[in-house]
Amino acid sequence: MIPKYKRILLKVSGEALMGDKSFGFDNAVIAQYAKDIKSIVELGVQVAIVIGGGNIYRGMNEAETGIERAHGDYMGMLATVINGMAMQAGLEKIGVYTRLQSAIKMEQIAEPYIRRRAIRHVEKGRVVIFGAGTGNPYFTTDTAGSLRAIEINAEVILKGTRVDGIYTADPEKDPTAEKFETITFQECISKNLKVMDMTAFTLCMENQLPIIVFNINKPGNLLRVVRGEKVGTLVKA
């Protein structure tokens, strides 16, 4: 089976790792994601991953916590490295070679982010996990995912969520919400659909980098997406 995409960036939220828990990560969820990632690596797909940090630290209201925004954002970046290490352990446990790269230097646990080295790793079949966001406050991990995908010349961003695509409204709250099979960047903006934050979304739009939003919690969906099956919603130029 020849995959449709040769190099992808998988973006997963930190909350997705929680499973049914209210904090931290669920080992069963990490094991399922690792198994799905292994299935596409075995097809020859080159994989990079960006994981959010919302399961450990979510930027809280400054007025309530007394923590200023920039300081809180750095805390969130460190949370993404913890998630990256957990995902790395889950992948290596089942025989997938990985590299964890961090936008904030921490040599004992991760390589510094170096673009050319990251590209070399994926070319060699290693899964590269990008931690610590962009290394700058005021940017989300969505933006980090878009930026890294463009930098390593990924063909598509696969945004794994708990819903099976983009809808006219939140399908978990509105049963009449209708799903889009494909949609353009401009339509997402005009309909005010919150696919990603605007910085991340604009980066993808300007670089004509397609996004596929799909339900990553359904085992086998990731493999179906890279095979080119109609799964989730495709956002394109």
Q: Is pLDDT at 60 greater than 70 in this prediction? A: no
The pTM of this model reads: 0.95
pLDDT in tens, 124-162: 999 999 999 999 999 999 999 999 999 999 999 999 998
Q: What percent of the chain has pLDDT over 90?
A: 87
Q: What is the pLDDT of residue 165?
A: 95
Q: Which long-range contacts (CB under 8 A, 24 or more apart) does 90-97 make?
A: 90/27, 90/30, 90/31, 90/33, 90/34, 91/34, 91/37, 91/38, 91/127, 93/31, 93/34, 94/34, 94/35, 94/38, 95/38, 96/34, 96/37, 96/38, 96/41, 96/127, 97/124, 97/125, 97/126, 97/127
Separation of alpha carbons 93 and 127, rounded Å: 13
Q: What percent of the chain has pLDDT over 70?
A: 99
Which one-letter DSSP state was computed for residue 17? G
Q: What is the pLDDT of residue 194?
A: 85
pLDDT in tens, 185-204: 999 999 989 889 999 999 99
Q: What is the pLDDT of residue 219?
A: 97
Domain boundaries, the chain: 7-236
99: β partners: 128
Q: Which residue has the tokens 């397609």?
A: 210
CB-based contact 44:228 (threshold 8 Å): no
Residue 106's pLDDT band, with cuts at 50, 70 and 90, is very high
Superfamily for domain range 7-236? Acetylglutamate kinase-like (3.40.1160.10)
Distances (CA, A) of 27 to 32, 90, 114, 154: 9, 8, 30, 28
Q: Is pLDDT at 172 greater than 70 in this prediction? A: yes
Distances (CA, A) of 133 to 22, 54, 72: 23, 12, 13
Q: What is the pLDDT of residue 171?
A: 85
Q: What is the pLDDT of residue 61?
A: 67
Q: Which residue has the tokens 């750095």?
A: 74
